[in-house]
Structure 1
C-alpha cells in the first residue's frame, strides 16, 4: 500500500496533531462568536473520535473507552451550538431578507439569537470545566509513545490495522449505498456517516503511509461528501427548529413559520440521485490502497 521510500509516523504523533487542533479550536471558541469557531472544534473532536476508534487495539482499553465517551459528549454540546449558527445564518437570515416585515419571522429570529447566546456562554463555561480539563489531560497522555501498546511501534502491524479498518469501512459504506435511489432522509444520513468514517480512516492512513492510490480515493470521496452537505444541513436545521418549537404555542404564527422553514429547507436540498450515483460509482471504482 505504501509508496516507496515513505516512513510511517507513530500514532502518538498523529494524535498529538489532533490534540493541537482541539487546543486551537477551544481558543477560537473562547475569542470568536461565529459559526467557524464551533465548526472548528466540532471537526477536531470528530477527528479525535475517529483516531481513538482506529487505534483502539493499540491503546489501553479503559483509557480509550473513557476518552471516546467524553469526546462524544463534548461533541454533542458543540454540535448543538454549531447547528444553531447554521439555522440563523443559512436559513433565517435569507428568510428575513425575503420577508423583512414578517413579525413571526422576526420573533423566531430573536428566539434563535437568544438561544445562541445562551448556548455560547454555556459552551465557553463548559470548556473551562474540570470535566473538559480531565478530557484534555487524558488525551495528552497519548502524546507519549511509551503510553501506547508495543504493537504501535511496529509499522507492519500499523499498516495491517489500517488496511483491515479501511476494508471494513468500505464494506459498511457499500452496504449503505446499495440502493441510493430509495434512500430516505434517515438512510441517507446513515450512508453519509459511513462515508465520513471511511474518509477519516483513509486520512489517518494517508498520514502514516502516504499513497497515491489513497490520495486519489480521498479526493474523489470528498466530492461525494460535498454533494451531501445540503442534506445534512437540512436535517440539522429541522432538529434545531423542532427543539425550539417545544416552547411555542400550538397554532401560533411563530410555530407555523418554523414549520414552513423546515419544509422549505428540505425541499431545497434537491439531491440529484443520478449525480450521487455517478459520484459513488467513481469513488468505489478507485483502489483504496
Structure 2
C-alpha cells in the first residue's frame, strides 16, 4: 500500500477507513500499537490532505461544512432486505456526491471531478445491482440522470487523466492547449452540477431515500451471495480467450470487472469478518490494468481534441503526432500487465464462498 493509495483512501473514506485498511493489509485492525511504518502511511495521507486543503480544496465554506465522505447511512447487515440495503447505499452515494460536487463548484482541483464521477458510478452500479429485486419505477430515471451527469463531467476528467497520468511529461505546447481546454470542460461540468437538472435529480434521490422500504423479500446475505456469484461468473465469461479480445471486448470486460468491484464493496460488510483482501485486491488490480488500457484509448481521442484546438502559434501538431505514436507503442506493455492481473484474478477465491 503506497502513500498515494493511502491518500486516495483517506480522501474518499476518512482516517478511520484508512486505519482499518492498513489493519486488513498488515494483520490487525486499527492503528494503535501498529509498527511505525504503518503509522507513517496514515500520517502521510493526513498531511497530504491538509496540504491540499491549504491550497484551497477545503477553503470554501460550502466544502468545509460538509459531512465526512461516506457518512449518512447506517452500515449494512445481512438481516436487511435488498430494498432497505439499496436505500442505505444510495444515501451514502448522495452524501459523497454532495461533498465532491461542492469541490467542483468551489475550485478547479481535479479531485472534485474525479470523485464526483466515482459517486455517480457507484450510484448507478448500486441501482443495477439491485435492479431485479427492488421494483421501483423511479430508479430507472435516477440512473439515467446519473449517467448524464457523469457524461458532462467526463471530458474534464479525461483531459486531466491524459495530462497527469497518461503523458505526465507532455511538451509545453500540449500542456498549454490542454490548459485552455480544461477551463472549458470544467465550466461544462459546473453548469451541469449547478443547474436545475441536477436539482431535480437530487430531489428524486431524496424522495427515494426517505420513502419507507418494502418489508418483504429475502435477506441481504442470501441475495448478496447470488449476486456476487453472477458478477464473478460474468467476468470469467468476458475474459475467456483474453489474448484474442479486441478493443470492444476489453471494454465490456472492464465494465463487468468494475461492476463486480462495486458489488463486492457494497456487500462486503454482510460477510464480515471473512477475510476478503486477497480477492478484492485481485479484482482491483484487474480493473486497474484494464483502466490503464482504456485511458490510453481515451487519450488518443483527447489528443485529437488537443490537436484540433491548437492554434498555429501553439506549434503543437508535431508534438501531437509523436505522442500518438507513443500511446500505440505502450499497448504491448499494457497487454502483458493485463495477462498477469487476469491470472491472479482466476486464482483468487471469492470471499463470500468462504463465509460461514
Measured against the shorter chain, the TM-score band is: 0.7 to 0.9
Distance 2:188 2:95 in 1: 23
Aligned: 1:220 with 2:282: yes
TM-score w.r.t. the length of structure 2 is 0.67
TM-fit CA distance, 1:186: 3.2
TM-fit CA distance, 1:236: 2.0
What's 2:143 paired with?
68
TM-score w.r.t. the length of structure 1 is 0.81
TM-fit CA distance, 1:132: 0.5
2:98 to 10, 17, 23: 23
1:143 to 206, 209, 212: 209
CA contact (8 A) 2:79 2:219 kept: no
Distance 2:333 2:221 in 1: 37
TM-fit CA distance, 1:179: 1.3
> Cα deviations across residues 185-238 of structure 1 (Å, max 9, x unaligned)?
332222222111111111111134435254442122112223333212212211
2:264 to 176, 199, 202: 202
CA spacing shift, 1:136–1:208, aligned 2, 3 Å: farther
Distance 1:266 1:136 in 2: 41
What's 2:6 paired with?
none
What's 1:41 paired with?
116
TM-fit CA distance, 1:37: 1.5
Distance 1:274 1:123 in 2: 35
Distance 2:335 2:163 in 1: 28
Distance 2:243 2:156 in 1: 32
Aligned: 1:279 with 2:345: no
Q: After the TM superposition, which of the residue ranges 24-33 and 215-224 deviates more from structure 2? A: 215-224
> Cα deviations across residues 104-125 of structure 1 (Å, max 9, x unaligned)?
x62x433321111011122212
What's 2:231 paired with?
169
2:240 to 178, 182, 187: 178
What's 1:119 paired with?
185
SS in 1 for 2:108: coil
Distance 1:233 1:68 in 2: 24
CA contact (8 A) 1:92 1:109 kept: no
Higher helix share: 1
What's 2:200 paired with?
134
Aligned: 1:264 with 2:326: yes
Distance 2:166 2:271 in 1: 41
TM-fit CA distance, 1:93: 4.9
Distance 1:276 1:92 in 2: 20
CA contact (8 A) 1:58 1:149 kept: no
Unaligned runs of 5+ in 2: 1-76
CA contact (8 A) 1:67 1:138 kept: yes
Distance 1:187 1:81 in 2: 26
Q: After the TM superposition, which of the residue ranges 76-85 and 277-286 deviates more from structure 2? A: 277-286
What's 1:230 paired with?
292
1:13 to 88, 94, 97: 88
Unaligned runs of 5+ in 1: 1-5, 97-104
CA contact (8 A) 1:26 1:41 kept: yes
RMSD across aligned C-alpha pairs, in angstroms? 2.7
Distance 2:162 2:207 in 1: 37
